[in-house]
């Protein structure tokens, strides 16, 4: 490895790969994040791609990006602003210029900066660097297209295939910038194109040449050094929020001894869960791709009635369609999990972007008094934990559970320490007792207020359930006025009692904080980082972050009432803040809301908290 | 199964008092179903009766089996989930013309297309009974009801045509009060592997009395209906002298003994024929132009969804190295941090 002319030592760095949606930026970013993870950095990634499969080439709407944040300390977010931007065309440069950190490095494929592409990207002059006010940055104007062609000219590949390898050239160059090994990526290329040696050779060559190009031009650019992070020993892999949800259910199926059933209809950004579980026939998963979301949940309810661990997955518009059937699961008291990977709404809204605006829908979006458990995951990898616990609560308490994640968690990845499944709790299935002479379908365990599960096939437990109100004492249909009131109260009480098995709310930061920051779900990484950074700058702050929303943790009021200044931060117009006020009318909260289809940035959070601290 | 451990049909009756109007055709269908289940040698615990919403959908409460009265139109989706989760169960779905063909139309056609092994009994009274008399997707054009005081201006579905059009492999039709024939139809439907649709022409005494009377009335029914049987010539009529023949691409009613027509000229019913052409024509026959077809119109073997799911699971599991969740998470791109 050549000597390095100028080395920047850093704790953490954010790199963004950006290009046209056909430029292979998602793969490039994924490969880079793998290499960094294997090197021992903590990482967090986030893809950002257009909702159209083939948005017009060369335009801003067609830009596809993949951001990787890695560091030698723990990282909780994919980062706000980037240190290094790889822009494969002018549109990518234009779309991302405002996200550059001062003094950062831009690698630009200058070959792509012809008149046509500049105009398509909306540049008025032929100097995109000046026009985007990037003059004071480190600009690496690399003729990537020409160099790729040059590198592959003797390999006998057609022009299209050559151009498709540009991303590997760029990746090689970035590996040089960070002094990373090319081994993992070469392994990947060999495996992926095993059937086509020519393609393997070409990609490996381009990758090497990109790396060497970095070496040659090094006088022009600094290289970054990030040491491995100090992370817990063990085996790791990269996990996205969507795959983590799927895997949480697989783990729950194993721990409960139940067969796993998924009924679902594809919808962005939840589809990947359906795809992952469809591939898991090896573990016996039954997946039913339904004709719509209603059939998705209704098959799930049927499978639960028949005794499976049954789940359904969707995003906001799909949750709306499932509302009536969730009510059926509430009154029939059958265990199901409904996953809602939230996206920007209302209606079709912003399908590929993130938002937290389905909270009220999850809590109340049904007819009648229809209480369901609502849980929210808060990082890509803890989607595994919360999917597991959603299933555990559903089965043990005989109730529908709604698990909220969002587009940001679903597509983001983090390194995940492989769990030892022996350390995970068992899931106890409340099977009905055939020998209990007083059994009826709505007989309750008075401690939990939940009924038992009598599965078809067992002689002696034949029974009928359904959407009509049932008599508290026999389970037969009842239209009695007082019985209905009693049953409505029982169903609510059953859900509230789950607070007994839910962990208490944890306070992160200063007990005597001047501001309590409150959040829920997918905003954890950004909120925590902002609070943590302000604390190290000498401010007194604390964070209370919620994963359990209905029921709320037992100590919620006790924690909140200690603080005079509470700011509830969420990616909607204040739904959780309203919910807290509803539950605790004497708690006053401030709000910080953002509804742009984007996560918070740590910078905007810190700025906001600072002004609050000064008030 | 030994005769003595067979469940008697009365044992399929639950202790709930039946709440349908006196004279409603649903009573007779309940009887037929219980008799068919007894005749099939079913055990109570292996049966799951699933319904949506409607008068007809109250049915599961009256059965001493497992039962689930779900939500309007979604019975076939719930039933599909039950069957896929536990293919050992005998899953029967009870539905009405509104439940199956209006709000549940999408699930109806897709269940049929998948060919999941459930038996669907479609109570066709050409009216919304439970909501007290609005026209339904099977009400005849011009039908007067509370929501069509000047007559409907829409054409009805023909359930048989819809079923076969959705690639249905089993379709039968019977009349509520003809219990003997209904029991045979239900048994055939149960023995058929895959989705079976049995359309029962049901009378709603309150909101659509005698809607099927032109063909169900004992005085005329032998002349105005034809009971199809596989392998038998398509002969009907009090005198057993009428029959069906092909006339170009159409069916034609002929009289045996007239114009030189003999029994040999009459079509023989082939319910197992894969081609749907003739089945569609038979299913679509309407009085007075034709006799209305009763019996098993179509019964063809085809791959069954729930069985295919089981087979695929077994095949993949046999080959895969991943046997547990722990195997799964250790497969693929894993690295060590030391
Ligand atoms: C979502 C929903 N929409 C409407 C209704 C009202 N509703 C109940 S049953 C029914 C029609 C029933 O007709 P059909 O399926 O033919 O059954 P029948 O009563 O005739 O047996 C309607 C419209 C409902 N229960 N749920
Ligand atoms: S309203 Fe009609 S369909 Fe409903 S129970 Fe009465 S007679 Fe039967
Ligand atoms: Mg009806």
Q: Which of A157, A177, A131 is nearest to A17 (CA)?
A: A177
Decide: B94 in ligand 1 pocket, CB within 6 A. Answer: no
The model's pTM is 0.93
**Chain B residues inside the 8 Å CB shell of A426:** none
Distance set, CA A497 to CA A280, A408, B279 (Å)? 34, 31, 58
Question: How many residue pairs bridge chain A and chain B with CB atoms within 8 Å of each other?
Answer: 195
Rounded to whole angstroms, how far apart are CA atoms A516 and A564? 8
| B106–chain A nearest CA distance, Å | 7
Q: Name the residue with higher pLDDT: A53 or B97.
A: B97
Residue-wise pLDDT tens digits, B125-157 = 999 999 999 999 999 999 999 999 999 999 999
Residue B191 near chain A (CB below 8 Å): no
**Helix/strand/coil (H, E, C) string of A58-84?**
CCHHHEEEEEEEEECCCCCCCCCCEEE
Please give the pLDDT value at position A56. 83
Q: Which of B51, B36, B23, B18 has its CA nearest to residue B182? A: B36
Residue-level pLDDT at A219: 44
Comparing alpha-carbon positions, the chain B residue that sits nearest to A301 is B78
Q: What is the 3-state secondary structure of A333-354?
A: CCCEEEEEEECECCCCCECCCC
Counting beta carbons within 10 angstroms of the beta carbon of residue B163, is it exposed (0 to 12), middle (13 to 18) or buried (19 or more)?
buried
Distance B59 CA to ligand 2 centre (A): 12
**Contacts by A95-103 with C-beta closer than 8 Å and gap 24+?**
A95/A18, A95/A60, A95/A63, A95/A65, A96/A16, A96/A18, A96/A63, A96/A65, A97/A132, A97/A133, A97/A134, A99/A16, A100/A134, A100/A137, A101/A14, A102/A136, A102/A137, A103/A136, A103/A137, A103/A138
Is the distance from CB of A19 to CB of A95 less than 8 angstroms? no
What helix, strand, coil percent values describe chain B, rounded to 5?
35, 20, 40
DSSP state of B102: I
Q: Quote the CA–CA distance of A321 and B72 in Å, as a whole number.
A: 14
Confidence of residue A230 (pLDDT cuts 50, 70, 90): confident
CA of A585 to nearest chain B CA: how many angstroms apart? 37
Res A3 pLDDT > 60? no
- Note the ligand closest to the C-alpha atom of B130: 1
Q: ipTM of this model? A: 0.98
B43 lies within 8 A of chain A by CB:
yes
Query: Which of B5, B46, B77 best tests the A interface by mutation, with the highest count of A CBs <10 A?
Result: B77
Q: Using CA atoms, how far apart are residues A357 and A593, in angstroms rounded to an integer?
A: 11
Rg (CA), chain B: 22
Give me the half-sphere count of Cα atoms (radius 13 Å) on the Cβ side of residue A577. 17
pLDDT digits (tens, 9 = 90+) for A257-302: 999 999 999 999 999 999 999 999 999 999 999 999 999 999 999 9
> By percentage, how much of chain A surpasses pLDDT 70?
97
pLDDT per position as a tens digit, B244-281:
999 999 999 999 999 999 999 999 999 999 999 999 99
Q: Is A192 in the B-facing interface, judged by CB distances under 8 Å? A: no
Phi, psi of B62 (to 5 degrees): -95, 5
**CB of A470 less than 8 A from some CB of B:** no
Say how many Å lie between the CA of residue B24 and the centre of ligand 2.
Answer: 5
Q: What number does the ligand 1 atom closest to the CA of B125 have?
A: 20
B229 Cα: distance to centroid of ligand 3 (angstroms): 27
Rounded to whole angstroms, the Cα distance separating A251 from B326 reads 9
CA B254 to chain centre: 29
- Are A405 and A241 spatial neighbours (Cβ–Cβ below 8 Å)? yes
Which neighbouring-strand residues pair with A261? A286, A310
Reported as a single tens digit per residue, the pLDDT across A301-335 is 999 999 999 999 999 999 999 999 999 999 999 99
What is the helix (H) or strand (E) element at residue A92, kind and residue range?
helix A90-96
User: How many helices and strands, by DSSP H and E, does chain A display?
Assistant: 21, 25
Greater confidence, A430 or A223?
Answer: A430
Give the dihedral sign, CA A493/A498/A500/A502: negative
- Do residues A264 and A314 make contact, with C-beta atoms less than 8 angstroms apart? yes
Q: Say yes or no: CB of residue B55 within 6 Å of ligand 1.
A: yes
* pLDDT exceeds 80 at position A5: no
CB contact under 8 A, A310 and B81: yes
Token readout for A29 is 């970013």
Give the model's pLDDT for residue A54: 66
Q: Please name the residues in contact with A22: beta carbons below 8 A apart, sequence gap of 6 or more.
A: A54, A57
Query: What is the nearest CA distance from A573 to chain B, expressed in angstroms?
Result: 33
Work out which ligand 1 atom sits closest to the CA atom of B97: 16
* Closest CB to B70 among A233, A292, A466: A466
Residue B319: closest C-alpha in chain A = A282
pLDDT cut 90: percent of chain A above it: 86
């Amino acid at each position: 490895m050549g000597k390095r002319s100028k080395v920047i030592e850093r704790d953490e760095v954010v790199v963004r790969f950006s290009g046209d949606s056909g430029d292979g930026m998602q793969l490039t970013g994924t490969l880079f994040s793998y290499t960094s993870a294997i090197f021992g950095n903590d990482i967090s990634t986030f893809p950002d791609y257009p909702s159209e499969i083939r948005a017009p080439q060369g335009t801003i709407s067609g830009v596809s990006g993949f951001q990787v944040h890695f560091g030698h300390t723990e990282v909780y977010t994919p980062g706000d602003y980037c240190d290094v931007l790889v822009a494969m065309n002018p549109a990518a440069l234009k779309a991302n210029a405002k996200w550059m950190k001062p003094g950062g490095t831009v690698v630009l494929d200058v070959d792509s900066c012809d008149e046509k592409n500049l105009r398509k990207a909306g540049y008025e002059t032929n100097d995109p660097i000046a026009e985007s006010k990037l003059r004071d940055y480190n600009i690496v104007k690399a003729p990537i297209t020409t160099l790729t062609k040059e590198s592959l000219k003797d390999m006998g590949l057609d022009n299209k295939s050559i151009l498709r390898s540009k991303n590997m050239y760029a990746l090689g160059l970035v590996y040089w910038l960070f002094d990373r090994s090319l081994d993992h990526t070469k392994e990947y290329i060999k495996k992926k194109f095993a059937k086509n040696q020519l393609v393997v050779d070409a990609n490996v060559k381009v990758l090497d040449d990109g790396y060497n190009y970095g070496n040659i031009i090094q006088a022009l650019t600094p290289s970054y050094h990030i040491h491995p992070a100090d992370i817990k020993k063990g085996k790791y892999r990269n996990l996205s929020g969507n795959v983590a949800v799927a895997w949480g259910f697989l783990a729950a199926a194993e721990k409960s001894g139940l067969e796993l059933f998924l009924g679902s209809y594809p919808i962005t950004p939840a589809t990947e869960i359906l795809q992952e579980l469809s591939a898991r026939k090896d573990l016996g998963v039954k997946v039913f791709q339904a004709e719509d979301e209603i059939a998705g949940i209704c098959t799930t309810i049927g499978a639960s009635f028949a005794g499976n661990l049954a789940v359904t997955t969707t995003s906001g518009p799909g949750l709306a369609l499932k509302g009536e059937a969730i009510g059926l699961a509430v009154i029939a008291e059958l265990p199901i999990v409904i996953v809602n990977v939230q996206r920007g709404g209302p209606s079709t809204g912003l399908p590929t972007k993130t938002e937290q605006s389905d909270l009220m829908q999850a809590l109340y979006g049904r007819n009648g008094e229809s209480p369901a458990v609502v849980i929210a995951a808060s990082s890509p990898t803890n989607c595994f934990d919360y999917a597991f616990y959603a299933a555990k609560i559903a089965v043990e308490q005989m109730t529908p559970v709604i698990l909220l994640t969002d587009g940001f968690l679903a597509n983001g990845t983090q390194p995940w320490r492989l769990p030892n499944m022996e350390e995970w709790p068992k899931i106890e299935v409340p099977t009905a007792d055939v020998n209990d002479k007083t059994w009826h379908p709505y007989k309750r365990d008075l401690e939990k207020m939940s009924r038992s599960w009598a599965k078809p096939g067992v002689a002696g437990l034949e029974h009928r359930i359904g959407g009509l109100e049932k008599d508290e004492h026999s389970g037969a249909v009842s239209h009695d006025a007082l019985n209905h009131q009693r049953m409505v109260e029982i169903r609510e009480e059953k859900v509230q009692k789950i607070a007994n098995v839910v962990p208490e709310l944890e306070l992160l930061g200063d007990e005597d904080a001047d501001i309590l920051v409150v959040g829920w779900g997918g905003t954890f990484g950004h909120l925590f980082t902002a609070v943590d950074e302000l604390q190290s700058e000498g401010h007194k702050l604390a964070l209370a972050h919620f994963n359990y929303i209905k029921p709320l943790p037992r100590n919620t009021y006790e924690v909140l009432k200690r603080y005079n200044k509470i700011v509830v931060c969420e990616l909607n117009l204040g739904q959780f803040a309203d919910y807290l006020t509803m539950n605790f009318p004497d708690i006053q909260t401030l709000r910080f809301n953002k509804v742009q289809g984007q996560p918070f940035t740590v910078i905007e959070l810190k700025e906001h908290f600072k002004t609050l601290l000064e008030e | 199964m030994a005769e003595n451990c067979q469940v008697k049909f009365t044992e399929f009756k639950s202790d709930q008092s039946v709440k349908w109007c006196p004279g409603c055709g649903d009573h007779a269908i309940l009887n037929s179903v219980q008799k068919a289940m007894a005749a099939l040698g079913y055990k109570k615990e292996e049966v799951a009766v699933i319904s949506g919403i409607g008068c007809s959908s109250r049915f599961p409460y009256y059965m001493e089996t497992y039962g689930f009265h779900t939500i309007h139109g979604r019975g076939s989706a719930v039933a599909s989930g039950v069957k896929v989760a536990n293919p050992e169960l005998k899953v029967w779905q009870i539905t009405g013309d509104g439940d199956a063909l209006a709000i549940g139309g999408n699930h109806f056609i897709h269940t049929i297309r998948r060919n999941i092994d459930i038996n669907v009994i479609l109570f066709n009274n050409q009216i919304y009974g439970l909501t007290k008399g609005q026209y339904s997707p099977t009400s005849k054009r011009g039908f007067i009801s509370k929501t069509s005081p000047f007559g409907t201006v829409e054409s009805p579905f023909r359930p048989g045509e819809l079923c076969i059009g959705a690639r249905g492999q089993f379709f039968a039709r019977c009349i509520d009060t003809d219990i003997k024939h209904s029991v045979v139809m239900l048994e055939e439907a149960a023995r058929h592997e895959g989705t079976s649709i049995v359309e029962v022409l049901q009378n709603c005494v309150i909101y659509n009395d005698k809607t099927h009377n032109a063909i169900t009335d004992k005085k005329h029914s032998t002349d105005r209906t034809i009971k199809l049987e596989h392998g038998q010539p398509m002969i009907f009529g009090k005198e057993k002298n009428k029959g069906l023949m092909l006339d170009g691409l159409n069916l034609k009613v002929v009289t045996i003994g007239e114009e030189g027509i003999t029994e040999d000229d009459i079509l023989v019913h082939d319910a197992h024929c894969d081609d749907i052409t003739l089945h569609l024509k038979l299913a679509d026959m309407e009085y007075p132009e034709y006799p209305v077809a009763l019996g098993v119109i179509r019964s063809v073997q085809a791959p069954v969804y729930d069985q295919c799911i089981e087979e695929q699971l077994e095949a993949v599991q046999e080959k895969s190295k991943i046997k547990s969740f722990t195997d799964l998470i250790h497969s693929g791109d894993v690295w060590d941090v030391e």
